[in-house]
């Protein structure tokens, strides 16, 4: 049974996906490089920074509750719900050279000189003509749809996402200092080993094992709460501690 909380989450990520053509450029890894080469802080650089800040408190909650790529990927579960077991390192192999290029270009141009949040958009819209529409759909299929269908559930999040590392680093900083933040709590004595949480996890985590060890922190956890809402014996809960 889908709980009210999960219906709300499904609605949020679907609406976010339908609005993706509007916000596409604000999450672009390419435009941030172009803008940095011109000494400009663009919309995506601002958004990436805000994602890092948000992760200091809510971890990868953005991935679970708001990301436009989430709506598309979870809709694909209807066609392909294979679990993804390996490959999380790949996104770091992409992210490190990408971030290095941004830093290099920023230094080369003498630092940022202006902010243009709507850089390369048309009155704030990302997709506004045939060329941008074709580019958008090509990127959507190559980076999100095809990996999801070939490699399994939320393959883009595991293997390719350039935003996830910002949030993983933010979450790691929180874990070092241990201040209150949104997290999961497990009560292993309440677990009846039905395997539902592991089956439901959109990030293919071994949730039942995490519950058994009462160690729910995982850098791939997107705090979506599907394990919380699916558990028949309330062995997993959200907490702010
Ligand atoms: S859904 Fe709950 S009871 Fe079932 S395996 Fe997971 S934690 Fe245990
Ligand atoms: S462990 Fe639970 S909250 Fe984390 S991604 Fe899996 S289902 Fe979502």
Q: Which of 209, 224, 231, 234 to mutate to test the pocket of ligand 2 (most atoms within 8 A of CB)?
A: 224
**Backbone dihedral region of 236: left (phi > 0), alpha (psi from -120 to 50 degrees) or beta?**
beta
pLDDT at 172: 98
Query: How many angstroms separate the CA atoms of 222 and 218, rounded?
Result: 9
pLDDT at 133: 96
Q: Would the CB of 224 count as within 6 Å of ligand 2? A: yes
- Are residues 215 and 122 part of one domain? no
pLDDT at 212: 97
State pTM to two decimals: 0.95
- Are residues 213 and 129 part of one domain? no
Domain boundary at 156, 175, 194, which? 175
User: Average pLDDT over the chain, rounded to whole?
Assistant: 97
Share of the chain above pLDDT 70, in %: 100
Q: Would the CB of 226 count as within 6 Å of ligand 2? A: yes
Nearest residue (CA) to ligand 2, atom 6: 201
Ligand 1: distance of its center to the CA of 211 in Å?
A: 8
Q: Which of 187, 188, 196 to mutate to test the pocket of ligand 1 (most atoms within 8 A of CB)?
A: 196
Closest to 60 measured CA to CA, from 207, 217, 215: 217
Nearest residue (CA) to ligand 1, atom 6: 197
Q: With 80 as the cut, is the pLDDT of residue 1 above it?
A: no
For residue 85, name the pLDDT band (cuts at 50, 70, 90).
confident
Q: With 90 as the cut, is the pLDDT of residue 166 above it?
A: yes
- Are residues 123 and 46 part of one domain? yes
Segments forming the whole domain that contains residue 224: 180-240
- Are residues 90 and 24 part of one domain? yes
Which ligand is nearest the CA of 236, by number? 1
Domain boundary at 118, 140, 175, which? 175
Q: With 90 as the cut, is the pLDDT of residue 241 above it?
A: no
| Mean pLDDT, range 128-135, rounded to an integer | 95
Query: How many angstroms separate the CA atoms of 70 and 13, rounded?
Result: 6
Q: With 90 as the cut, is the pLDDT of residue 14 above it?
A: yes
pLDDT at 87: 82
For residue 174, name the pLDDT band (cuts at 50, 70, 90).
very high
DSSP conformation letters of 153-179: TTHHHHHT-SSHHHHHHHHHHHHHHT-
Ligand 2: distance of its center to the CA of 95 in Å?
A: 23
Ligand 1: distance of its center to the CA of 194 in Å?
A: 5
pLDDT at 165: 98
- Provide Rg for the chain, Cα atoms: 19
Number of structural domains (the chain) is: 2
């Amino acid at each position: 049974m889908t709980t009210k909380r999960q219906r709300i989450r499904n609605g949020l990520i679907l609406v976010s996906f339908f609005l993706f053509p509007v916000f596409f450029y604000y999450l672009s890894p390419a435009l941030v490089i172009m803008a940095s080469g011109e000494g400009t802080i663009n919309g995506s650089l601002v958004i990436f920074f805000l994602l890092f800040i948000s992760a200091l408190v809510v971890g990868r909650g953005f991935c679970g509750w708001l990301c436009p790529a989430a709506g598309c990927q979870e809709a694909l579960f209807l066609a392909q719900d294979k679990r993804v077991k390996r490959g999380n390192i790949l996104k770091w192999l992409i992210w490190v050279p990408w971030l290095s290029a941004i830093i290099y270009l920023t230094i080369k141009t003498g630092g940022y000189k202006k902010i243009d949040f709507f850089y390369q958009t048309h009155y704030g819209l990302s997709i506004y003509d045939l060329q941008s529409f074709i580019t958008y759909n090509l990127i959507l299929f190559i980076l999100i749809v095809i990996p999801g269908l070939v490699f399994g559930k939320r393959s883009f999040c595991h293997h390719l996402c350039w935003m996830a590392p910002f949030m993983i680093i933010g979450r790691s900083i929180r874990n070092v200092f241990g201040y209150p933040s949104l997290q999961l709590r497990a009560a292993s004595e309440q677990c009846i080993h039905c395997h539902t949480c592991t089956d439901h996890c959109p990030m293919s985590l071994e949730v039942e094992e995490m519950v058994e060890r009462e160690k729910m922190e995982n850098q791939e956890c997107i705090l979506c709460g599907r394990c919380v809402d699916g558990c028949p014996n309330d062995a997993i809960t959200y907490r702010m501690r």
